[in-house]
């Protein structure tokens, strides 16, 4: 990144809301539809492992737009209840627009400080891609244990970003960009070395933190993929408007910060020439379920 250049990130409410409602899919309906099956699979993976039964009280931590929490409402039945918890008041408002008010409660709280939730007050705790943004992960596991009743279940999903870190530094979106590797390197450098919250743990840490918090019957389902074929890039202009996570700039912002206008044009032209080319991806993730004794 050239000295003196700074990111200008447009935030409509807060970074979490802005990313989930706009920057995750760049405002593209096509990208939103492409991501939908994957998100549904994450939701069902968390909920299936939670073993929810009718009448349960479910706490969804870091609920976001309510993907998991709203799904839990369908499983707890008419006598159950879901507590939607998030750090973002705007996202809780978004959930309110879709949730059944008679069976829903909304709490603004951090994952590592759920003080507003009484001890032993819920049957199930769920989270999806939340701990990755938490600095005090061990403290978060302790809080998830505290709010569960004896016999209560925990079910979480987390991406393991440390797995793919440093692989294929000449690639973006699974495309082989070796012909413009010099430009890709500059763009990736603009993202820095990454946030230790997101890169400084793996699936073994999740298991360790769960055990240290007092959970029993800890189960981990781990999935790793290396160089696996994926769908082609269909709309580079839309992809440039996306950001890889709520803490990062969009790819267009990173390009403007790292490249000259001529270099941006060169990278744009090369990627557009690859639209329709199959992509490949490398990633890892983990589902963890456990029970409070």
Residue 1's pLDDT is 29
In a domain, 230, yes or no: yes
Residue 196's CATH number: 3.40.50.150
Q: Are 159 and 285 in contact (CB under 8 A)?
A: yes
In a domain, 4, yes or no: no
Q: List the alpha helices (DSSP H) in the chain.
A: 15-18, 29-50, 67-76, 89-96, 137-147, 181-190, 196-199, 203-213, 236-240, 251-258, 261-273
Lowest mean pLDDT among 25-29, 69-73, 126-130, 226-230: 226-230
In a domain, 136, yes or no: yes
Structure token digits, residue 55: 């009448």
Residue 239 has pLDDT above 60, yes or no: yes
- Cβ count within 10 A of residue 135: 12
Q: Would you place residue 169 in the very low, low, confident or very high pLDDT band (cuts 50, 70, 90)?
A: low
In the predicted model, what is the mean pLDDT of residues 255-263?
Answer: 96
In a domain, 65, yes or no: yes
Write the CB contacts of 253 (distance below 8 Å, at least 6 apart in sequence). Answer: 7, 8, 9, 243
Q: What is the DSSP string of 110-156?
A: BTTB-TTSPTT-EEEEEEES-GGG-S-HHHHHHHHHHHEEEEEEEEE
Q: Would you place residue 168 in the very low, low, confident or very high pLDDT band (cuts 50, 70, 90)?
A: low
Read off the pLDDT of residues 265-293 as tens digits, 9 standing for 90 and up: 999 999 999 988 888 889 999 999 999 99
In a domain, 220, yes or no: yes
- Domain of residue 85 covers 15-291
In a domain, 10, yes or no: no
Q: Would you place residue 175 in the very low, low, confident or very high pLDDT band (cuts 50, 70, 90)?
A: confident
Does this model's pTM top 0.75? yes
- Number of domains within the chain: 1
In a domain, 62, yes or no: yes
In a domain, 6, yes or no: no
């Amino acid at each position: 990144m050239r000295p003196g250049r700074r990111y200008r990130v447009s935030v409509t409410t807060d970074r979490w809301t802005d990313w989930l409602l706009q920057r995750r899919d760049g405002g593209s309906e096509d990208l939103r539809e492409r991501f939908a099956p994957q998100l549904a699979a994450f939701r069902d993976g968390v909920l299936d492992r939670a073993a929810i039964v009718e009448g349960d009280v479910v706490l969804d931590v870091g609920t976001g737009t309510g993907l998991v929490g709203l799904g839990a409402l369908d499983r707890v039945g008419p006598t159950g209840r879901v507590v939607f918890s998030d750090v973002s008041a705007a996202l809780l408002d978004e959930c309110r627009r879709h949730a059944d008010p008679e069976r829903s409660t909304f709490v603004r709280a951090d994952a590592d400080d759920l003080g507003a939730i009484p001890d032993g007050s819920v049957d199930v705790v769920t989270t999806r891609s939340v701990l990755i943004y938490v600095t005090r992960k061990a403290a978060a596991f302790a809080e998830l244990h505290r709010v569960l009743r004896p016999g209560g279940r925990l079910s979480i999903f987390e991406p393991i970003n440390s797995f793919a870190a440093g692989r294929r530094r000449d690639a973006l979106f699974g495309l082989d960009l070796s012909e413009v590797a010099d430009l890709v390197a500059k763009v990736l450098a603009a993202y820095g070395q990454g946030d230790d919250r997101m890169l400084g743990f793996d699936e073994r840490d999740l298991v360790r933190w769960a055990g240290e918090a007092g959970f029993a019957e800890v189960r981990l389902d781990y999935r790793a993929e290396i160089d696996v074929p994926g769908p082609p890039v269909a709309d580079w202009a839309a992809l440039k408007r996306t950001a890889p996570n709520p803490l990062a700039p969009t790819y267009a912002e990173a390009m403007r910060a790292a490249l000259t206008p001529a270099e941006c044009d060169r990278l744009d032209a090369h990627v557009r020439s690859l639209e329709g080319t199959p992509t490949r991806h490398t990633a890892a993730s983990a589902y963890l379920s456990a029970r409070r004794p």
